[in-house]
A and B are shown apart, each in its own frame.
Chain A
């Protein structure tokens, strides 16, 4: 294709956008909002997965004991745990130790534990460490069968729950994204319809002097793509600002919660958003041209 042709297309696209400036802005804003929801879903899903991966690396389970066991019974349980496959260490944590740990975690706000001191609702427990994560679930199952064991807690359960929640989030998110994509395509196709209408005389002359259908279509398609692209760039900027701020807060106030650092995560996300937005724009204008540009 000739350089002149591309220059012509770009000039026409610019004219089209300028002619419907308000409509163009509205389209860009709508695209941005739709993509923002998509971005939110992606960010949430990615972080949940990240948390799951981090938890998984903690190869540990906690075996809670029933109240009032004798030292003999506790020793028997400890021995039983040490016998299990893949166990590297077993540590006894009495309910008093547990309360002290809890007080340390609360730090300055340990006053809230004031009334608890005397009755101590916590349980004696064994902290069991493993070599490999895959050894944890079978050992947990066996430990539950031991006499004197009340319950077994291991992070894998958290991992499973996180995985289930991530799946739910994906389904709901996908639904929202699909719905908003339809909305975006509709808005863009409506904008392009106006552009076609505004240029109907030019289109008529073009057909008269022998312009090919695609020559007539390209500026409109580019216009839709620019709308989608601009919306996606706007979304990327918002996501970058918002996510950086959010991560900053989290790192300062809740340092033990694992989060993905903004860079290069947001950059990768932006690539997805920009590609998606541009594609939606293209689909939107193509739809409009099919219906309104009788070439």
Chain B
């Protein structure tokens, strides 16, 4: 589903975020990308939805090069990828329903489909009752669930998350991770960049560890730290 081929990302200021990274993530996989701050986790995620392009190497999504996409084709790539961030990125002046519907409106989905899919997405994240609330009226965990509903409402093949539990207390974080697992069970490929050590260790998923821009470890049923 996602493939990194000898990807190097060097920023204009000279710092190297990723160095010769090769990685293959299959359809329906659940992958944690771990590592200390500045190891390149965020850059790796950004390369997948083409927020960034690599300095050298290639990134494939669904077998097609993301790097060589024409600018006009980028939005269509992003419609197949849901993304969730540490800071949720909800629109404060819109209701929960409108925040989720927004993702459908801007890709010009018909009104009937919006009326059908948004409640389904809210139900998936367990917030069907909060449709008319505003983000500021919700807890951090609930806000992240809304962000997840928005990411999933267009049924993307891939769900990316950059530190999705970074702003949440451990208990709430567990709830969010369980939700990712549920989404993955329904067939969506999930890639999560995180340093939530306890959760990664407990979930026994594939773990790709980055250090200073290099893949230092890639284990199925792995843990946050190297097994002793």
Contact = CB atoms under 8 A, between A and B. Distances in A.
Interface of A: 1-2, 4-5, 8, 201-202, 204-213, 215-216
Contact of A202 (B49, B75, B91, B110): B91
Contacts of B154: 209-210
Contacts of A8: 105
B interface bracket (residues with beta carbon within 8 Å of A): 20 to 34
Given A2-B110, A202-B91, A205-B91, A210 B105 contact: no
Contact of B72 (A201, A212, A216): A212
The 8 closest A-B pairs by CB, nearest first: A210-B79, A211-B106, A210-B78, A209-B103, A210-B75, A212-B75, A206-B106, A5-B108
Interface of B: 49, 71-72, 75-79, 83, 89, 91, 102-103, 105-108, 110-111, 150-151, 154
A201 B91 contact: yes
A215 B111 CA distance: 17
B102 A209 contact: yes
Contact of B107 (A1, A205, A209, A213): A209
B66 to A, nearest CB: 13
A209 B84 CA distance: 10
A210 B103 CA distance: 8
A208 B150 CA distance: 11
Nearest to A201: B91
Given A208-B89, A209-B78, A209-B106, 18 more contacts: A1-B108, A2-B108, A4-B105, A5-B108, A201-B91, A202-B91, A205-B91, A205-B102, A206-B102, A209-B103, A209-B150, A209-B154, A210-B77, A210-B79, A211-B75, A211-B106, A213-B71, A216-B106
Contacts of A209: 78-79, 102-103, 106-107, 150-151, 154
Contacts of A206: 102, 106
Contact of B106 (A1, A201, A215): A215
A199 to B, nearest CB: 10
A215 B108 contact: yes
A204 B89 contact: yes
A209 B107 CA distance: 8
Contact of B111 (A4, A205, A207, A211): A4
A210 B77 CA distance: 7
B154 to A, nearest CB: 7
A12 to B, nearest CB: 10
B91 A210 contact: no
Contacts of A204: 89
Contact of A213 (B75, B79, B83, B102): B75
Contacts of B49: 208
A207 B78 contact: yes
A201 B89 contact: yes
10 contacts: A2-B110, A8-B105, A206-B106, A207-B75, A208-B49, A209-B103, A209-B151, A210-B79, A211-B106, A213-B71
A52 to B, nearest CB: 54
A4 B151 CA distance: 21
A215 B91 CA distance: 18
B85 to A, nearest CB: 9
Contacts of B110: 2, 4
Nearest to A202: B91
Nearest to A212: B75
B89 A4 contact: no
Contacts of B77: 210
Nearest to A211: B106
Contacts of A213: 71-72, 75
A211 B91 contact: no
Contacts of B108: 1-2, 4-5, 215
Contacts of A211: 75, 106-107
